[in-house]
């Protein structure tokens, strides 16, 4: 089974109107595919934050497969 790093970011504007991506949560999950990893990570994020939908706290969910040397 592969390992995936899943990160959740929220886009927040600063005082000058420039957008910044702020890391909200990240987790490493074992999964067979990127889609499965995203679903598992979203469920973990919701559980950790006590929310019903991850989009209440983040705008993006990015999935990256970790190389064997990283794990």
Q: What is the pLDDT of residues 20-65, one digit of tens each?
A: 999 999 999 999 999 999 999 999 999 999 999 999 999 999 999 9
Nearest to 25 by CA among 68, 59, 1: 59
Task: Give, for 19, the enclosing helix (H) or strand (E).
Answer: strand 19-31
The residue ranges of every structural domain in the chain are 2-65
Query: Any idea which fold 2-65 has?
Result: Ubiquitin-like (UB roll) (3.10.20)
| pTM of this prediction exceeds 0.85 | yes
């Amino acid at each position: 089974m592969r390992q995936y790093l899943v990160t959740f970011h929220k886009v927040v504007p600063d005082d000058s109107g420039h957008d910044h991506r702020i890391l909200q949560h990240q987790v490493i999950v074992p999964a067979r595919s990127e889609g499965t990893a995203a679903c598992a990570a979203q469920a973990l994020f919701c559980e950790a934050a006590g929310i019903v939908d991850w989009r209440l706290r983040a705008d993006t969910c990015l999935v990256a497969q970790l190389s064997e040397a990283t794990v």
